[in-house]
Chain A
Amino acid sequence: MAIMTQVEAPGTTAPSLSRRARSRQGRPTTPKHLRSNLTAYMMITPMVGLLGVFVLWPLGYAFWLSLHRSSFYQSPKYVGFAFYRYVLTDPMFWHSIETGLKYTAMVVPISIIIALLLASFIKTLPGRTAGFMKTVVYVPAAVSSIVAALVFTFMYQDQGVGNWLVGLFGVKPVAWLNNPDTALPGVAATGIWLRFGIATLIMLAGLLDIPDSYYESAALDGANFVQRTWYITIPMLKNVILFLFVTEFVLAMQEFQLPLIMTKGGPVDATNTPNLYIFNSFRDNTPYATSFSLAASLLLFAVLGVISMIVFRLVRSSKAVDG
């Protein structure tokens, strides 16, 4: 640009002046950093638009509706936070949160432990065998949860595999899904089976990132498998485990399909998870159903958000030291 100016300066013609004028007048109004920002804004516009249309607007509208007694046939009537009080004073709402937490307490730790053990095992296998094992553990994740729920329901029947197994020990058939004590663990077993495959692969990716030199040094110092796992693997996998814990926690708290198909929330509400409670509230044939279920959904959103924040605070994530 500087060379051009020097060349053109002595004998300027009208057109070249005009170009220079345009160049000097136009460019300073849009500084370079703003031009690059504009490009970025334009690039994110479609996504922000979609987010606005499909997330923000429905969220705002849901909140507005939750403040009204609404019907599809009558004008909404403003009732303030009445539905929030209604939900918060409904023992079933709190019972469903408790059920969700119990389900989470069963599914998340067991999935993570199984994943850690399996990933550690797969890491020791030679190439082809490891590939085969990775495929095998991933298969459950590829199965529809509807299909899994139906298969497990059959397995829990009187003549199913579950009762055949306990029958080997002389135990009479157990009504796995119709007994309030065994129904939630029964559903949780299905949830663990569906989720441990993905957790294993994520865990394996984390394991492969840990430098072998750590283990070699530990082995030279005489550390056994448990010590190596406790002092090297788990600290180095802290972020992976935290990621799995938070994502699995949120997914498990929102579990809905498995209890819907396997137990319909029973027996005696023993498997009535928060989302199933909201879903059944929505299906109620009363003018209160829509606003009530919306208020419950937004409250659940808040509860999950708070719990996730607490988890992040308790287990501070940090960058891995190496690798």
Chain B
Amino acid sequence: MRLTYLLMAGVSVAALAVTGCSSSSSSGDSNGVTHVSFWQEKYEDYQQVWFKKQVTDFNASHPKIHIDYQVVPGDTWQQKLKAAQAAGKQPDVATTNYGSIAPGVADGQFIPLDGLLPDSAFSDLKDNVKSFVTIEGKHYAYPILVEPSTVLYYRTDLARAAGLDPNSPPKTWDELITWARALTKGKVTGMTIASTKEDLQWSSWGLQWDACGHWAISDDWSKSQATDPCYDKLLQFYKTLYQDKLMPQQPKVNYPDSLPYQQGEVAMMADGSWAVGQLKDLAPKLISKTAVAAFPSMDGDPTKTTATLGGWTLTIDGKAKHKQQAADFINWMLAGDPQIMTSFFKAGGYSKYTVRKSVDQALLKDPQANADPFMKVISDKVIPYGRQEPDYPTDISDALATAIEAAMKGTSSIPSALGTADSKIKSVIQKQQLAGTQP
């Protein structure tokens, strides 16, 4: 009898463990209501508030569709998504960055939205942004926003105190280094910029393009270009800033976080346009003492790319059961009434940029948007020269970022660091059979 109980207990534990490992499906039908799961990667707090409100409004106005909304922290996104994909529980709709669209399409992860959204939704997109989500003539994502990855923020009061003209910000890398030296005083360092591989992987793309006019891998993904001498100058730029102690030696936060600037620890900051929202929200007193400018280019040409245009889209999963309902949600929230997206940009303090012509028109009527001191500079001097983020595998970005970091921290000479990056990129090309597979 005791043995029977033991066996039953064992079976129960096993059953509980097995069932405990699976989550209930959030995609399906119940009482005539179609459930569509939506995962949003966690961003600034106001975005979660905005998305939650839109989902609530959509659910209220669409009784036959219910969006099951879930916020997923960024640092667990990949593993959570992969675990869900392995279990067949992946979300129907998910936030996807521009750089992940092409690899996802090649893998069959996303479906084209053509036919599911009206043609007018795509004709309303700005032409350059349309190309970010288009592969072989089909639209695989609907964009939410664009945001330049690198903008220069600087303290006008500290510049004046150091004898610099805040109305004439640095235009070349050399001038930027001169400014950083002049502004490094006491506990304030000249500037902050990425110094870890994790941040350099993507935040240095704009400067890589500025230095070389091409990526570290050839356009057809068949050859490494990491030993091009132009990269020497890029690595030297980062090395000077770090080794001359013109930037914090130990970053407290990652590149996207403007905390050191908010706390007055640095006089200048390289950060994305999103930092405008952070400053308005968390350090409003600094706004009057802050100016923004396009990040300096290597030779001072203001039309050269120094920032990539990143941003987020919504995609529909290749295995989604209710594709049309998922598309209806995307269409309602992102491609419908321009006022919905206008409210998004307003909530973000105009720190992100629109992808639709009709939303631009709506913002023109917004006096607050027109009066914003930063929006015009970024719209006119950064975004027009920004490039789309590269969509080659992360390993390529990783190789060059490691080279930059090695030069900064002094573990390798610049030629040696680039040589290592070159070997790694060649190895990735060969092992991942990349040649000719570019989107």
Contact = CB atoms under 8 A, between A and B. Distances in A.
Instruction: Determine if chain A interacts with chain B.
Output: yes
Nearest to A284: B394
A45 interface: yes
Interface in B1-41: 3, 6-7, 9-11, 13-14, 17-18
Contacts of A86: 431
Nearest to B84: A72
Contacts of A43: 3, 6
A53 B14 contact: yes
A279 B6 CA distance: 38
Contacts of B395: 284, 286
Interface SS, B side: helix
B103 A53 contact: no
A71 B250 contact: no
Contacts of A134: none
Contacts of A158: 248-250
Interface residues of A, number: 43
A109 interface: no
B14 A268 contact: no
Nearest to B76: A283
B266 interface: no
Contacts of B384: none
B402 to A, nearest CB: 7
B47 interface: no
B432 A286 contact: yes
Contacts of A269: 197, 402
Interface stretch (B125-133, B306-314, B405-413): B405-413
Interface stretch (A176-184, A193-201, A231-239): A176-184
Contacts of A49: 10, 14
A82 B3 CA distance: 48
Interface residues of B, number: 45
Given A73-B107, A267-B409, A285-B100, A175 B250 contact: yes
Nearest to A48: B10
B367 to A, nearest CB: 41
A47 B196 CA distance: 46
B250 A53 contact: no
A232 to B, nearest CB: 45
Contacts of B100: 285
Interface string B290-309: 00000000000000000000
Contacts of A39: 3
Interface SS, A side: loop
A268 B402 contact: yes
B292 to A, nearest CB: 27
B208 to A, nearest CB: 18
A73 B319 contact: yes
A54 interface: yes
A89 interface: yes
B79 A283 contact: yes
Interface string A56-88: 000000000000000111100000000000100
A34 to B, nearest CB: 16
B320 to A, nearest CB: 12
Contacts of B175: none
Given A286-B393, A287-B107, A264 B411 contact: no
A147 interface: no
Nearest to A47: B10
Given A178-B250, A268-B409, A50 B196 contact: no
Contacts of B82: 72, 282-283, 290
A112 to B, nearest CB: 31
B432 A266 contact: no
B250 A176 contact: yes
B14 A46 contact: yes
A45 B10 contact: yes
Nearest to B87: A72
Between A45, A265, A283, the greatest number of chain B beta carbons within 10 A of the residue's beta carbon is seen for: A283
A291 to B, nearest CB: 12
Contacts of A175: 249-250
B178 interface: no
Given A268-B409, A290-B82, A45 B7 contact: yes
Contact of A267 (B10, B17, B405, B431): B405
A224 to B, nearest CB: 46
B85 interface: yes
A53 B18 contact: yes
Interface string A276-297: 0001001111111010000000
A47 to B, nearest CB: 7
Contacts of A283: 78-79, 82
A157 B103 CA distance: 38
B373 interface: no
A42 interface: yes
A179 B409 contact: yes
A85 to B, nearest CB: 8
B198 interface: yes
Contacts of B90: 72
A43 B3 CA distance: 7
Given A268-B405, A282-B79, A284-B395, A72 B14 contact: no
B319 A267 contact: no
B318 interface: yes
Contacts of B118: none
B186 to A, nearest CB: 13
B252 interface: yes
Interface string B412-433: 0000000000001001000110
15 contacts: A46-B13, A49-B10, A71-B108, A72-B85, A72-B86, A72-B90, A74-B108, A157-B252, A178-B250, A266-B197, A267-B197, A268-B402, A285-B78, A285-B394, A286-B432
4 closest A-B pairs by CB: A46-B10, A73-B108, A72-B85, A175-B249
Interface of A: 39, 42-43, 45-47, 49-50, 53-54, 71-74, 86, 89-91, 156-158, 173, 175-180, 264-269, 279, 282-288, 290
